[in-house]
Amino acid sequence: MLYNLHTHNYTNNPDVFEMVNKYPYEDIDGVPYFSTGIHPWRIDVDKNEEHLAVIEQRLKLPNCLALGECGLDKRIEIPLNVQVDIFEKQLELAKKHQKPVILHLVAAFQELIEIKNRLNVDVPMIIHGFSKNIQVAQQLLDNGFYISFGKYLLRNPELSNVFSQMPDDRFFLETDMIQETIVQVYDKAAAAKYIDLETLKNIVGTNFKTVFKHG
Protein backbone atom coordinates (compact mmCIF):
# COMPACT_ATOMS: atom_id res chain seq x y z
CA MET A 1 0.00 0.00 0.00
CA LEU A 2 1.20 3.49 -0.88
CA TYR A 3 0.16 6.30 1.47
CA ASN A 4 -0.49 9.74 0.01
CA LEU A 5 -0.56 12.26 2.86
CA HIS A 6 -2.09 15.12 0.91
CA THR A 7 -3.86 15.29 -2.43
CA HIS A 8 -6.55 17.40 -4.05
CA ASN A 9 -7.14 14.76 -6.73
CA TYR A 10 -8.85 11.58 -5.56
CA THR A 11 -7.90 8.71 -7.91
CA ASN A 12 -9.79 5.80 -6.31
CA ASN A 13 -6.70 3.63 -6.82
CA PRO A 14 -7.09 0.50 -4.65
CA ASP A 15 -3.32 0.36 -4.10
CA VAL A 16 -3.12 3.89 -2.69
CA PHE A 17 -4.42 5.23 0.62
CA GLU A 18 -5.24 8.84 -0.17
CA MET A 19 -6.00 11.60 2.29
CA VAL A 20 -7.97 14.03 0.15
CA ASN A 21 -7.93 17.72 1.03
CA LYS A 22 -11.44 19.15 1.36
CA TYR A 23 -12.15 22.79 2.10
CA PRO A 24 -15.15 23.57 4.35
CA TYR A 25 -17.27 24.60 1.36
CA GLU A 26 -16.46 21.42 -0.60
CA ASP A 27 -18.54 18.26 -0.61
CA ILE A 28 -16.94 15.30 1.19
CA ASP A 29 -19.13 12.62 -0.40
CA GLY A 30 -17.26 10.05 -2.45
CA VAL A 31 -13.88 10.23 -0.71
CA PRO A 32 -13.12 7.52 1.86
CA TYR A 33 -10.64 9.58 3.91
CA PHE A 34 -10.03 13.30 4.04
CA SER A 35 -8.61 16.28 5.87
CA THR A 36 -10.41 19.60 6.19
CA GLY A 37 -9.29 23.11 7.02
CA ILE A 38 -9.08 26.76 6.02
CA HIS A 39 -6.10 27.37 3.74
CA PRO A 40 -4.55 30.82 4.27
CA TRP A 41 -5.13 31.62 0.58
CA ARG A 42 -8.83 30.91 0.99
CA ILE A 43 -9.63 32.87 4.14
CA ASP A 44 -13.00 34.59 3.83
CA VAL A 45 -13.33 36.73 6.95
CA ASP A 46 -17.10 36.99 6.55
CA LYS A 47 -17.41 33.20 6.57
CA ASN A 48 -14.76 32.24 9.12
CA GLU A 49 -17.20 31.26 11.85
CA GLU A 50 -19.35 29.28 9.42
CA HIS A 51 -16.31 27.45 8.08
CA LEU A 52 -14.96 26.75 11.56
CA ALA A 53 -18.31 25.22 12.50
CA VAL A 54 -18.17 22.95 9.45
CA ILE A 55 -14.62 21.92 10.33
CA GLU A 56 -15.59 21.08 13.90
CA GLN A 57 -18.46 18.87 12.75
CA ARG A 58 -16.19 17.09 10.27
CA LEU A 59 -13.45 16.49 12.83
CA LYS A 60 -15.93 14.30 14.69
CA LEU A 61 -16.18 11.93 11.73
CA PRO A 62 -13.98 8.81 11.84
CA ASN A 63 -12.91 9.24 8.21
CA CYS A 64 -11.72 12.80 8.80
CA LEU A 65 -8.13 11.98 9.68
CA ALA A 66 -6.63 15.44 10.05
CA LEU A 67 -7.22 19.17 10.22
CA GLY A 68 -5.76 20.98 7.24
CA GLU A 69 -4.39 22.12 5.21
CA CYS A 70 -4.10 25.29 7.21
CA GLY A 71 -1.24 27.56 8.12
CA LEU A 72 0.57 30.80 7.36
CA ASP A 73 1.85 32.39 4.16
CA LYS A 74 3.82 35.64 4.22
CA ARG A 75 3.78 35.95 0.43
CA ILE A 76 0.08 36.65 0.04
CA GLU A 77 -1.87 39.87 0.54
CA ILE A 78 -4.02 38.65 3.43
CA PRO A 79 -2.54 40.30 6.57
CA LEU A 80 -0.53 37.96 8.76
CA ASN A 81 -2.52 38.86 11.88
CA VAL A 82 -5.72 37.74 10.11
CA GLN A 83 -4.02 34.48 9.10
CA VAL A 84 -2.71 33.89 12.62
CA ASP A 85 -6.14 34.39 14.15
CA ILE A 86 -7.88 31.78 12.00
CA PHE A 87 -4.87 29.44 12.22
CA GLU A 88 -4.89 29.51 16.02
CA LYS A 89 -8.64 28.85 16.13
CA GLN A 90 -8.12 25.79 13.94
CA LEU A 91 -5.29 24.54 16.12
CA GLU A 92 -7.56 24.75 19.15
CA LEU A 93 -10.08 22.55 17.30
CA ALA A 94 -7.33 20.06 16.45
CA LYS A 95 -6.36 19.89 20.12
CA LYS A 96 -9.99 19.53 21.21
CA HIS A 97 -10.66 16.65 18.82
CA GLN A 98 -7.13 15.22 18.93
CA LYS A 99 -6.57 15.24 15.19
CA PRO A 100 -3.18 15.78 13.52
CA VAL A 101 -2.62 18.98 11.53
CA ILE A 102 -1.42 19.29 7.93
CA LEU A 103 0.34 22.61 7.44
CA HIS A 104 0.84 25.02 4.57
CA LEU A 105 3.81 27.20 5.51
CA VAL A 106 5.54 29.86 3.43
CA ALA A 107 8.24 32.09 4.96
CA ALA A 108 6.70 31.81 8.44
CA PHE A 109 8.52 28.96 10.16
CA GLN A 110 9.55 31.04 13.19
CA GLU A 111 5.96 32.17 13.69
CA LEU A 112 4.79 28.59 13.43
CA ILE A 113 7.20 27.37 16.09
CA GLU A 114 6.21 30.22 18.42
CA ILE A 115 2.50 29.48 18.00
CA LYS A 116 2.98 25.74 18.53
CA ASN A 117 4.85 26.34 21.77
CA ARG A 118 2.58 29.11 23.04
CA LEU A 119 -0.62 27.12 22.41
CA ASN A 120 1.02 23.93 23.66
CA VAL A 121 -0.21 22.01 20.63
CA ASP A 122 -0.14 18.34 21.63
CA VAL A 123 -1.14 16.70 18.34
CA PRO A 124 1.21 15.78 15.48
CA MET A 125 1.88 18.60 13.02
CA ILE A 126 3.08 17.90 9.48
CA ILE A 127 4.63 20.47 7.13
CA HIS A 128 3.40 19.49 3.70
CA GLY A 129 5.18 20.23 0.42
CA PHE A 130 8.57 20.88 2.00
CA SER A 131 11.08 22.69 -0.23
CA LYS A 132 13.70 24.20 2.08
CA ASN A 133 17.24 23.31 3.13
CA ILE A 134 18.50 20.89 5.75
CA GLN A 135 18.92 23.66 8.34
CA VAL A 136 15.21 24.53 8.19
CA ALA A 137 14.30 20.85 8.18
CA GLN A 138 16.43 20.19 11.25
CA GLN A 139 14.88 23.09 13.13
CA LEU A 140 11.43 21.71 12.38
CA LEU A 141 12.44 18.21 13.45
CA ASP A 142 13.96 19.59 16.66
CA ASN A 143 10.62 21.25 17.42
CA GLY A 144 8.64 18.06 16.94
CA PHE A 145 7.26 18.51 13.43
CA TYR A 146 6.88 15.89 10.73
CA ILE A 147 7.81 16.78 7.15
CA SER A 148 6.09 15.71 3.93
CA PHE A 149 7.74 15.71 0.51
CA GLY A 150 6.19 15.68 -2.94
CA LYS A 151 6.35 18.18 -5.78
CA TYR A 152 9.69 19.72 -4.89
CA LEU A 153 11.34 16.34 -4.43
CA LEU A 154 10.52 15.70 -8.09
CA ARG A 155 11.37 19.23 -9.28
CA ASN A 156 14.45 20.18 -7.26
CA PRO A 157 17.47 17.82 -7.42
CA GLU A 158 19.00 19.42 -4.32
CA LEU A 159 16.04 18.34 -2.20
CA SER A 160 17.00 14.67 -2.57
CA ASN A 161 19.97 15.36 -0.29
CA VAL A 162 17.70 16.96 2.30
CA PHE A 163 15.26 14.06 2.11
CA SER A 164 18.04 11.51 2.45
CA GLN A 165 18.81 12.94 5.90
CA MET A 166 15.26 12.68 7.23
CA PRO A 167 14.82 10.30 10.18
CA ASP A 168 12.74 7.34 9.08
CA ASP A 169 10.04 8.04 11.66
CA ARG A 170 9.42 11.68 10.73
CA PHE A 171 8.49 11.95 7.05
CA PHE A 172 5.57 11.46 4.68
CA LEU A 173 5.05 11.56 0.91
CA GLU A 174 2.35 13.31 -1.11
CA THR A 175 1.20 14.51 -4.52
CA ASP A 176 -0.76 17.65 -3.58
CA MET A 177 -1.93 19.06 -6.94
CA ILE A 178 0.76 17.73 -9.29
CA GLN A 179 0.02 15.55 -12.30
CA GLU A 180 2.70 13.02 -11.38
CA THR A 181 1.56 9.97 -9.46
CA ILE A 182 2.39 8.97 -5.91
CA VAL A 183 4.32 6.04 -7.42
CA GLN A 184 6.69 8.54 -9.05
CA VAL A 185 7.16 10.33 -5.73
CA TYR A 186 7.91 7.03 -3.96
CA ASP A 187 10.39 6.02 -6.68
CA LYS A 188 12.25 9.32 -6.32
CA ALA A 189 12.23 9.08 -2.52
CA ALA A 190 13.52 5.49 -2.52
CA ALA A 191 16.35 6.48 -4.84
CA ALA A 192 17.24 9.44 -2.62
CA LYS A 193 17.50 7.22 0.44
CA TYR A 194 19.16 4.34 -1.43
CA ILE A 195 16.52 1.88 -0.26
CA ASP A 196 14.12 -0.36 -2.14
CA LEU A 197 10.49 0.51 -2.69
CA GLU A 198 9.13 -2.10 -0.26
CA THR A 199 11.30 -0.78 2.55
CA LEU A 200 10.09 2.76 1.87
CA LYS A 201 6.46 1.64 1.75
CA ASN A 202 6.87 -0.01 5.16
CA ILE A 203 8.46 3.11 6.64
CA VAL A 204 5.74 5.46 5.42
CA GLY A 205 3.02 2.98 6.34
CA THR A 206 4.34 2.77 9.88
CA ASN A 207 4.46 6.56 10.16
CA PHE A 208 0.91 6.85 8.87
CA LYS A 209 -0.39 4.34 11.38
CA THR A 210 1.52 6.03 14.20
CA VAL A 211 0.34 9.56 13.47
CA PHE A 212 -3.16 8.99 12.11
CA LYS A 213 -4.02 5.78 14.01
CA HIS A 214 -5.13 4.30 10.73
CA GLY A 215 -3.95 2.02 7.98
Q: What is the pLDDT of residue 92?
A: 98
Q: Does pLDDT of 96 surpass 80? A: yes
- pLDDT, mean over the chain: 97
Q: Work out the average pLDDT over 147-173.
A: 98
Residue type for 151, please?
K
pLDDT over 80 (residue 210): yes
Taking CA atoms, 8 is separated from 92, 95, 139, 147, 192, in Å, by 24, 24, 28, 18, 25
Mean pLDDT of 24-35: 96
Q: How far apart are CA 139 and CA 132, in angstroms?
A: 11
Is the pLDDT at 144 greater than 80? The verdict is yes
pLDDT tier at 214, thresholds 50, 70, 90 = confident
Residue 215 scores a pLDDT above 70: no
pTM: 0.97
For residue 32, the model assigns a pLDDT of 97
**Among residues 65, 60, 50, 45, which one has the least CA distance to residue 3?**
65
Confidence label for 186 from pLDDT (cuts 50, 70 and 90): very high
Q: What CATH superfamily is the domain 2-212?
A: Metal-dependent hydrolases (3.20.20.140)
Query: Contact 208/214 with Cβ under 8 angstroms?
Result: yes
pLDDT, mean of residues 81-92: 98
* All structural domains of the chain with their residue ranges: 2-212
CA distance 118 to 72: 16
Q: Is the pLDDT of residue 170 over 80?
A: yes
